Amino acid sequence: LLRKLPIKRNASDRALRRNMWKAIDMNDNGYASLAELDRGIQDVLNLPTIFKSKKVIMRAFQAAKKKYKARSKYSDDYVEWMEFRIFLVYLRQYFEYWVMFNRTDTDGDHKISLQEFKNAVPIMEKWGVKIKNPVQEFKKIDTNGGGVIMFDEFCKYAIEKQLDLEDDDDFDDVELKFEEDAIEAI
């Protein structure tokens, strides 16, 4: 995945991003809607696995479009060129969280039950969090009190605890690390 996302701050990645942006921003208005980015993930980036992960795309879109101060009345509704690199960074990171979430959500209902959470404690330790009281930790994560952990709640927790999947393609450049301010966009 990381090889398909030109997110480094160098000339070659910038040129690749520029070409991707031109293909995604087909009407050349300087804005990319959620629908345009969604289509671009499939048609331009050719990432079918992420294309099927709509919650990942939505989280990355929400975080990226608010990254910089609005320059126009439309800025906070769309991703602009200056936010496109960060959108790709967020896309990669939220996909990592999606993989974690799905490894925890063993019944595939897109919710983590208390029992699934308890069962995942050993693997979550590999991701960098020590859980002493699973019931108490579960209740902290379940911020809406629904009795299950939804993907948004899991992402907030993963960002806060700086969870890191043990078998992924980690960023090798410190400037590309996922930014904690993305939690505000969730």
- Exposed, middle or buried by CB within 10 Å (0-12, 13-18, 19+), for 102? middle
Query: At which residue do the structure tokens 């070409």 appear?
Result: 19
| Tokens coding 145 | 């009190």
For residue range 82-105, what is the model confidence (pLDDT) as tens digits? 999 999 999 989 999 999 999 999
Instruction: Give the chain as a 3 state SS string.
Output: CHHHCCCCCCHHHHHHHHHHHHHHCCCCCCEECHHHHHHHHHHCCCCHHHHCCHHHHHHHHHHHHCCCCCCCCCHHHCEEHHHHHHHHHHHHHHHHHHHHHHHHCCCCCCCECHHHHHHHHHHHHHCCCCCCCHHHHHHHHCCCCCCCECHHHHHHHHHHHCCCCCCCCCCCCHHHCCCHHHHHHC
Q: Give me the pLDDT at residue 66, please.
A: 81
pLDDT of residue 183: 46
Q: pTM of this prediction?
A: 0.85
pLDDT tens per residue across span 22-45: 999 988 999 999 999 999 998 888
132, with CB counted inside 10 A (0-12, 13-18, 19+), is: exposed
104-156 pLDDT, tens digit per residue, is: 999 999 999 999 999 999 999 999 999 999 999 999 999 999 999 999 999 99
* Assigned token pair, 16: 């690749």
